Structure formats: structure tokens, C-alpha cells
Amino acid sequence: MNILFRIADILLFPVIRLIFRAKQKGKENIPKSGPVIIAANHLHAFDMFFISTFSRRSIRFLAKAELFRNPFGRLIFRGAGAIPINRAAAGVESVNEVISSLEKGEAVGIFPQGTRIPGKDPAETKIKSGIGLIAYHAKATVLPVFIGAKGMKVRPFRKTEVRFGKPIAFDELGFENGGIDEYRHASEIIFEKICELGKDISSSAEEKQ
């Protein structure tokens, strides 16, 4: 287990649970070993912590490259195992690092939406096809995760729920020869599974202002 992940497990995660009243459902579905892509919708900057707090495994999350620009951020995020990625155009180097991590049997966290989209039903948002490309080349299992809150807006002292679905096996993603169309189709399958986990939450996302 990564040392900073262990420190967070002891010091940070209990605070996250308290302040955001984080609850979980289905954490027994998290594979205890082997390569796995943790795929979730994206509501808040703390989403990676909401997921990690219920996992006994270290998870290497993709994080926007801007977080690595100053020495302190680079130290913290690299120390925690995060992988920098340009949200506008994911570079080959970042994708290769993700695939390499999975080939080593690690867990990698990815947000298919590519950016935070609070206050909206995730099923109505656009996703990127990168997760399909990564799943194809790494031949990895995918674990769908839904992060939900009232109005799909995470707020302190208001319950945040994290739901872990059943793992999606590689052969369920419809791959034959690879290619952009297959990557896109696999990404859609994965995100549909994510959205299904939170239908009862996201259906009330249009919260009155």
C-alpha cells in the first residue's frame, strides 16, 4: 500500500466521512487483487477520496495536469500515485502509464466524463472514449462506481453516497479488433452501468435553486 494512501487512510478519510457523511453500498464488489479500472461519474474535487475511503487497495487516479505544475502539488499527487493527464488531449505518455500500471496488477481510477459535472443527471452528460481504449489494451476488469448526493451536488454535512457495482469482465465490453468505434462503444457500456447504479438519485438531480 502506498505510504501516502496509508496516511490518508488513518488521518484524512475519517474526516471526509464525517464532513461529507460519506456512506457506501457494495464495497465487497471491489476486487481484492489484480488489474481493475475503477470508473465513476464525477461530481466533486474530492470524488477520489470518496472512493478511496472505502477501498483497502491503493488506487492510482488520473488527475488533471494542472495539479502537478507547482512543486508541492507534484510532490503530493505523485506521492499518492496519481497520474497527470491533459483533459483537452490525453497524451500517449499518460495513457501508457495507466496501461503499464494495470499490467502490473494495480487499480486505476478514471472519470469517463473527464471533468466535474455537478447538479446534472450523469446519463445526460457526454463522456470520453479513453476508458474504452485503456480497457482494450490492458485487458482489465472494470468496476463501475456511482457517486451521488441530493440534487447531484456534494455539500458538507449532507450525505454523499458511493455505490460500487458488479465488476464488468473484459469480454462483456464487445471488443473484437479494437479501434475508435469499439473504444467508444465500450465506454458507453461502462458509463451506462455507472448510471444504472444511481438512477434513484440522479432522477431527482434537477434541484430547485
- 134-191 pLDDT, tens digit each: 999 999 999 999 999 999 999 999 999 999 999 999 999 999 999 999 999 999 999 9
Lowest-pLDDT range of 11-20, 34-43, 117-126, 127-136:
11-20
Q: Give the predicted TM-score (pTM) of the model.
A: 0.89
Segments in the chain forming alpha helices (H)? 3-7, 13-19, 47-52, 71-79, 92-103, 130-138, 180-197, 199-202
**Residue 209 in domain:** no
Which among 110, 129, 109, 143 has a CA at the least distance from the CA of 178?
A: 129
Determine the pLDDT at residue 9. 72
15 assigned to some structural domain: yes
List CB contacts of 49: < 8 A, sequence separation 6 or more: 8, 12, 13, 16
- Alpha carbon separation from 105 to 21, 24, 51, 56, 183 (Å, rounded): 31, 24, 19, 15, 21
pLDDT bin (cut points 50, 70, 90) of residue 88 is low
Is residue 66 included in any domain, yes or no?
yes
On whether residue 207 sits in a domain, the answer given is no
Judged against a pLDDT cut of 80, whether residue 76 lies above it is answered with no
pLDDT of residue 10: 77
Tell me, what CATH number does 87's domain have? 3.40.1130.10
Asked whether residue 31 is domain-assigned, the answer is: yes
In a domain, 128, yes or no: yes
Q: Which of 68, 63, 62, 39 is nearest to 51 (CA)?
A: 39
Residue 208 lies in a domain: no
Q: Is residue 71 part of a domain?
A: yes
User: What total of structural domains would you count in the chain?
Assistant: 1
Bridge partners of 64, per DSSP, are 85
What residue numbers bound the domain in which 35 lies?
3-202
